[in-house]
Chain A
């Protein structure tokens, strides 16, 4: 791109300039490299653009374990276990991780109450969303029965720090199940698969 000094337009252009006795100076800035770079960057970003998936909050002190054989995270109740505490759908529970580890009873009372609350909310939401679906499948009792068994609103994803001891995780899983949780999954980060 040619950069012209302020003033009369095209005065430095060969075709349009009026002939003057002064020396002509034209500074050219090549845009080709920049446009190439932009194009490559746009293609890369568009290729990695993710339209699906779920956005979850990961606390700064939480390091998720890595796994190769993984599935896409689905909408569910998220229970976070890190050194700073236990959260259920971003709501902290009163018991600290050290206290959970030390207690003999496997039932974590505040987590139990919060989990029941979250499950009730999830059920209400699923019921609202499922009204139209239920109307459509009302005449097909087999499909209705299948839906009742699956109960997708009962899904819980546990995202625990990789250094958390297993006893704490077990107590949390036990409490969640007692609260009425169905399918429980563990949140992980994807590890690139071995080339074999």
Chain B
């Protein structure tokens, strides 16, 4: 209990603040919050449009600006093969790691060239790990291409 006491030769007064209920409440609250806390938050990365979708007769492909301009990233064993319009460039792999910084720079340049363009395409070698696809898609999203199609036909 918090205890305030005035000493001295005069009249003695003692003020006691009972902290026990407060500590009880805190303990219960902390226990509840610790039990219900979510420590790993799973989120999702969205595919804007997928090439896997069944093409039914009445289904039309939603039009986006500058759809005729190609922005495509092929994730290959030797690196990123980027196609922007008619230009093609290979960003070679540096040892085991892919050069994500160079890819980001290239996609940023593509965004400057086609500022209204929202769609882009990504394809990946069958033997590469799924993690590389997510990294590639993440960079494309960061560069401002939210409608990503995943090509199923291979590279």
Contacts and interface: CB of A to CB of B under 8 A. Distances in A.
B94 interface: no
B30 A173 contact: no
Given A31-B19, A49-B33, A65-B135, A166 B124 contact: yes
A132 interface: no
B5 to A, nearest CB: 7
Given A42-B29, A65-B130, A169-B130, A186 B42 contact: no
Contact of A165 (B19, B128, B138, B142): B128
Interface of A: 1-2, 13-15, 28, 31-32, 34-35, 38-39, 41-42, 45-46, 48-50, 53-56, 58, 64-74, 157, 159-167, 169-170, 173-174, 176-178, 180, 182-190
Given A161-B130, A173-B50, A189 B40 contact: yes
Contacts of B37: 45, 48-49
Interface residues of B, number: 48
Given A55-B38, A188-B42, A166 B128 contact: yes
B42 A14 contact: no
A187 B53 CA distance: 19
A177 B34 CA distance: 40
B67 interface: no
B42 A177 contact: no
What does DSSP make chain B's interface, helix, strand, loop or mixed? Answer: mixed
A162 B130 contact: yes
A71 B47 CA distance: 11
Given A55-B38, A177-B53, A184-B52, A166 B44 contact: no
What does DSSP make chain A's interface, helix, strand, loop or mixed? Answer: mixed
B87 interface: no
Which of B29, B43, B124, B137 has its CB near the most chain A CB atoms (within 10 A)?
B43
B46 interface: yes
B125 A166 contact: yes
A77 B93 CA distance: 36
Nearest to A185: B44
B41 interface: yes
B126 A70 contact: no
Given A42-B33, A69-B141, A190 B43 contact: yes
Interface string B132-152: 111101100110000000101
A163 B134 CA distance: 11
B30 A174 contact: no
A130 to B, nearest CB: 22
B77 to A, nearest CB: 12
